[in-house]
């Protein structure tokens, strides 16, 4: 029995060092489907988009692809027409080595912005990258996409559709510039499910909205964030093209895998010492609950209070007050885990505040805010803001 769960029929993987990173770590990865696969993808909402994002956005319109080439250490962003030419060049070289169409190759990059892609280094290593393709080298690709990540992020799932076993494997990178609508996060998923591209796109968007788009570390949005899923149809079941029982089974598996990967990203955030679930309840609408949650999650004063283990509820109320929502401060209740620290907009006293401070000493806890305005609800995962976050980002390019 094979002990490696990160295998999916018909997919091969490779990851090597091409010398893009200064420290010699792996920085070039390849995911390859032996046959053309249905594809779906979501990309950064940043109006400044990296060359690989623009190229991949165009190529997934065809509905099929066969390979994903990814590098770390260089974002190939803000590199003008040269960045596009470099992207087309490396995909052309790879297509010849693999014997597939250039348009069936998707590109992804992460790293320093504004520096030209070192195409000569990549070109020299493409033959080695292709020779190394194996069903057992999933982790090599995971390591090749890491930048400030401290640990690899990967997850797998399986289910049965019409009696046939279906496998799904996912990987992600991201430790900073993480906020909704993706952000300096890459995630690649492969499955042997037989599923049409349009339906796959619909499911992927719904899942991403419930997972990757509900995490935030520092409120920054990247030029390169990308989520891609390939489905090669090797599982012997009828095609999935609608949200029937089988479609729901697949979506549930995808949701579980992406939820786990999203949690890994938050836990591995730059300088993170605490993970906080922020739950807004009783807002006027779900959209207002969302604004309130991000208003709190993006407040440097709130995040540094989390780091300092200070139950400073005044900062939370202040963040709510400028989050552009309907609010009556004399109705607001705030809880750390189950400890009520604010009732009807007023602090509940030093004894409960002391108990709340003990909650903040935990590595993970929940902040609940009830606005008593309506039925709108929203929750997300965020982190504290530590001294190490500043140190990591102050020296990122050095």
Q: Which residues are catalytic?
A: 184
DSSP 78-110: S-HHHHHHHHHHHHHHHHHHHTS-GGGEEEEEE
Across-strand partners of 230? 39, 190
**What residue ranges in the chain does DSSP mark as E strands?**
11-16, 28-43, 64-74, 105-112, 153-161, 164-173, 186-191, 226-231, 275-283, 333-336, 339-343, 346-347, 364-370, 376-383
Six-digit token pair at 250? 């697949």
**SS3 state at 343:** strand
CB neighbours of residue 267 within 10 Å: 18
Across-strand partners of 277? 366, 381
Across-strand partners of 276? 365, 382
**Distance (Å, rounded) from C-alpha 155 to C-alpha 168?**
9
Tell me phi and psi for residue 135, to 5 degrees: -70, -10
Binning the chain into helix, strand and coil, the percentages to the nearest 5 are 35, 30, 35
């Amino acid at each position: 029995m094979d002990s490696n769960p990160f295998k999916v029929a018909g997919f091969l993987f490779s990851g090597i060092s091409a010398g893009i990173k200064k420290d010699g770590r792996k920085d070039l990865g390849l995911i390859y489907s032996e046959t053309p696969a249905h594809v779906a993808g979501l990309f950064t909402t940043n109006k400044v988009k990296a060359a690989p994002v623009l190229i991949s956005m165009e190529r997934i319109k065809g509905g099929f692809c066969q390979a994903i080439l990814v590098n770390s250490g260089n974002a190939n962003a803000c590199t003008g027409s040269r960045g596009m030419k470099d992207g087309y060049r490396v995909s052309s070289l790879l297509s010849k080595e693999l014997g597939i169409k250039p348009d069936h190759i998707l590109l992804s990059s992460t790293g320093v912005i504004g520096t030209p892609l070192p195409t000569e280094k990549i070109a020299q290593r493409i033959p080695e990258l292709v020779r190394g393709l194996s069903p057992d080298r999933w982790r090599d690709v995971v390591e090749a996409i890491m930048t400030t990540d401290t640990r690899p992020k990967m997850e797998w799932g399986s289910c049965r559709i019409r009696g046939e076993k279906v496998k799904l494997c996912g990987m992600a990178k991201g430790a900073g510039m993480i906020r909704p609508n993706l952000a300096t996060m890459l995630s690649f998923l492969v499955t042997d499910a037989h599923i049409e591209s349009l339906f796959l796109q619909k499911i992927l968007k719904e899942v991403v909205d419930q997972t990757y788009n509900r995490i935030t570390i520092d409120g920054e949005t990247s030029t390169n964030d990308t989520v891609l899923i390939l489905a090669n149809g090797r599982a012997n079941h009828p095609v999935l093209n609608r949200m029937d029982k089988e479609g729901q089974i697949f979506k549930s598996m995808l949701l579980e895998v992406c939820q786990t990967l999203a949690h890994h990203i938050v836990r591995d955030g730059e300088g993170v010492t605490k993970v906080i679930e922020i739950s807004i309840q009783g807002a006027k609408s779900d959209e207002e609950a969302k604004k309130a949650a991000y208003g709190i999650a993006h407040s440097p004063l709130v995040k540094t209070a989390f780091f300092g283990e200070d139950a400073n509820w005044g900062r939370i109320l202040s963040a709510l007050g400028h989050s552009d929502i309907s609010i009556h401060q004399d109705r607001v209740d705030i809880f750390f885990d189950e400890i009520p620290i604010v009732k009807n907009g007023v602090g509940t006293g030093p004894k409960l505040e002391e108990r709340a401070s003990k909650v903040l000493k935990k590595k993970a806890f929940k902040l609940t805010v009830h606005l008593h305005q309506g039925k709108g609800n929203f929750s997300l995962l965020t982190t504290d803001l530590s001294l190490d976050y500043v140190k990591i980002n102050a020296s990122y390019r050095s």
